[in-house]
Amino acid sequence: MNGMKFEEMLAPDLKSLQHCAESLVASLRGGEIIGLVGELGAGKTTFVQYMAKAMGIKKPVRSPTFILMQCFPSGHSFRKKTGIVEMCHIDAYRLKGEDELFAIGFGDYAEREDCVTVIEWADRIESVSWLEDYREIRFTVDENQKRHLECYFRK
């Protein structure tokens, strides 16, 4: 990915995956678009659940496959510390392209500095990777069932 910095993390268990999510949340400043890419069952939704927990989100976060998009208010102390008031969680699996992504309201959230937008199956909407505050995390699972995360972000 041109113009992107790369970092790899090993998350062999759920505790490690949680730590990776918490590390990402600690680096957020608002306005980021986090693209999650990986096969079914690779840990994308679990990662979002750990992000939500680190952001103080109380409502349960589930895969939004049939709803496509859900937004969650961040916890009071996280909001006060970062200015980030909301996380928008999108599942692009069933979307047919950028037009459908914008039709469900993506643009309303992606442009806000007080929101973080997380897109599962982001590789299905290639144009999001060109957005300025885009970060991508690619999930793979090796033959020993150990999860690897490749993180790409702007320098």
**Confidence band, pLDDT 50/70/90 cuts, at residue 155:** very low
Domain boundary assignment for the chain? 4-150
Q: Which residues, including other chains, have CB under 8 Å from residue 69's CB and lie 6 or more apart?
A: 88, 89, 90, 91, 104, 105, 106
Q: Is the model's pLDDT at 154 over the cut of 80?
A: no
Q: Is the model's pLDDT at 83 over the cut of 60?
A: yes
Q: Is the model's pLDDT at 2 over the cut of 60?
A: no
| CATH for the 4-150 domain, from 3.40.50.10490, 3.40.50.300, 3.40.50.720, 1.10.760.10 | 3.40.50.300
pLDDT tens-digit map of 102-135: 999 898 988 899 999 999 999 999 888 888 889 9
46 half-sphere exposure, CB direction, 13 A CA radius: 16
In percent, how much of the chain has pLDDT > 70? 93
pLDDT tens-digit map of 30-65: 999 999 999 988 899 999 999 999 999 999 888 766
Residue 78, token pair as written in the block = 């996280």
